[in-house]
Amino acid sequence: MMSYFSDTSSNDDELETLRWYHYDMSRHAAEALLLSNGKDGSYLLRNSNEGAGSLALSVRANDSVKHFQVTRKSSGYAFGFNEFPSLQDFVSHFANQPLLGSETGTLIVLKYPYPWRVEEPSIYESVRVHTVMQAGRTERDLVAKAPSLGTKEGYLVKLGAFIKNWKQRWFTLNRNELKYFKDKMFDEPIRTLDLTACSAVQFDYSQERVNCFCLVFPERTFYLCAKSGVEADEWIKIIRWKLSQIRKER
């Protein structure tokens, strides 16, 4: 792995041996990765856009991801009010004192380091996170030039609007558009849902079916059912992440 810094000190070598150091991963990509594939308490270390010597610790807390600045110094690493002479001391501190407090007062537990080399989980079959692994690129570059950031596709069963029957449809999620087709081989969608108009996505228990969730739009609430609870949870998480990004841009 290439070093982000120009010098070849032992601190650089130590940083690059850290299994949960993700080098040039952007803030948006880290959020997508942890929300899609991590769990509460998953965390990773990455380079920050604040400049040379700045790192960021990204931690998943429930359905959001918090980011904390870690500063590299000649004497070691500064994190909050603490300084650590080495990464080993840095990691040992997390093991012995695993609670972090965000600016909102939320306590975040560091439980699961997310390694940069993993056996890809099954969720990657449907959710693909694209990152730009080039020095000098920013989050803005990533969003503009990676149209597939956080995509998903698969069959869902949808409740009709007027005739209340359930029909299987092929769904694709790309950027802020959720499209559904009569079947997978069709090129033209039956309808395209603009997620910028969606106010919420959540599990739904009002229908006489399992593994259902709903998307709330001003003119209609769409009821969808997946083949399993895990699949429904994947759809909810990736759409919820999309909605959070839309709100940030407003």
What global pTM score does this model have? 0.45
CATH number at residue 212: 2.30.29.30
Report d(CA 45, CA 67) in Å as an integer. 10
Tally the domains of the chain: 2
**What are the DSSP calls for 71-124, one per residue?**
EEETTEEEETTEEESSHHHHHHHHHH--EEE-TT--EEE--EE--SS----GGG
pLDDT tens for each residue of 90-141: 777 766 666 666 555 566 777 888 887 654 333 433 443 433 334 444 444 4
- Per DSSP, 129 falls in state -
Residue with tokens 């010597």: 53
Whether 225 and 207 have beta carbons less than 8 Å apart is answered as yes
Say if residue 103 is in the same domain as residue 156. Answer: no
pLDDT tens for each residue of 20-47: 888 888 888 888 888 877 888 888 889 8
Say if residue 232 is in the same domain as residue 181. Answer: yes
For residue 221, give its domain range.
Answer: 152-249
Cβ atoms within 10 Å, residue 62: 9
Say if residue 100 is in the same domain as residue 187. Answer: no
